[in-house]
Chains A and B, each alone.
Chain A
Amino acid sequence: MKVLLVDDSGTMRTIQRRCLAKLGIEDVAEAEDGQQALQLFEAAAFDLVMTDWNMPHMDGLTLLQEIRKRNKQIPVIMITTEAERARVVTAIQHGVSDYLVKPFTPDGLKEKLERWTTTRV
């Protein structure tokens, strides 16, 4: 399984990458913003995208829209501080597969990722 991990915070990418490693997923590409992520997405085949919302250059919602223009099936999980109902609804309307609000516990992240990775590793 190949995962594209997108967050402008290196700290958050480290936390999420370690959680993926615990689930046996080591093939992870990292991007610091939506623009960089889209370049990686177009250059390789991924099985899962995990993205932050608020990032410089291209935000996660725009990235989600760009991904959905290219691939309607790939799971995209938004992991973000945007917790308001209206934001979640917007993400769903644009085709997000799952949503996790920061802050999260290690178990909360693991549980969320297990849903999208255990049958696909």
Chain B
Amino acid sequence: MVSAAPTLTPSSVAITISEYINPVVSATRSVFEMMLGCVPTRRGLTLKDENAVMYEVSAVIGISGRVRGTLVVGLSCHSACEVLHRMVGTVVTEANNEVCDAVGELTNMIAGAAKAQLAKYELSLSLPNVVTGTSHRLHFPSETAPFVLTFDSDIGTFHIEVAFHEV
């Protein structure tokens, strides 16, 4: 599924950021604050390219409705374990089923909170799928232009990849 990113005009990027990305950013802050007790700081926003960051744990949610999209939360194993620790107090050092469940639920809440701000698009979310494995990279369908949001937080640096396209 590797392919060149579609061409974006400055105006289309601006619409995408204001329409879709800002709700994801505010949802991420809100979910981290309430569920993990820390407020992440957005460090960067880039278009995803072939040099994209690789993850150890990533949770993927499909979005459908009047627009379609995908939202991915990508973390290091350490950060993923810290998600579980902060949510239920369990200390682990490997991305086991409990860690995957916690990261999946965290991602579900981020996508859900963003969806609430995008109510006019009548969106539905898939159940989260969680991928683990050293240095994996996620590929999006060719018709999408994914953005990569980079956040710093008390649980470490993490990334959110998000792409929307018209139906």
**B115–A54 touching, CB < 8 Å:** no
Interface assignment of B54: CB less than 8 Å from any CB of chain A: no
Residues from chain A with a CB closer than 8 A to the CB of B119 are: 84-86
Which residues of chain A are near B108, meaning CB under 8 Å? 9, 54, 81, 102
Most buried by A among B34, B102, B108, B125: B108
- Inter-subunit contact B102/A11 (CB<8 Å): yes
Q: How far is the CB of A82 from chain B (nearest CB, A)?
A: 7
- In the complex, which residue of chain A has the Cβ closest to the Cβ of B117? A83
Q: Is the CB of A104 within 8 A of B34?
A: yes
Cβ < 8 Å to B, chain A residues 82-104: 82-86, 101-104
Other CB < 8 Å A-B pairs besides A9-B104, A18-B88, 13 of them?
Answer: A9-B102, A11-B87, A11-B105, A14-B88, A15-B88, A81-B115, A82-B112, A83-B112, A84-B115, A84-B116, A86-B119, A102-B109, A102-B112
Ranked nearest first, the 7 interchain pairs of A and B with the lowest CB-CB distance are: A81-B112, A83-B116, A103-B34, A9-B105, A11-B102, A84-B119, A103-B31
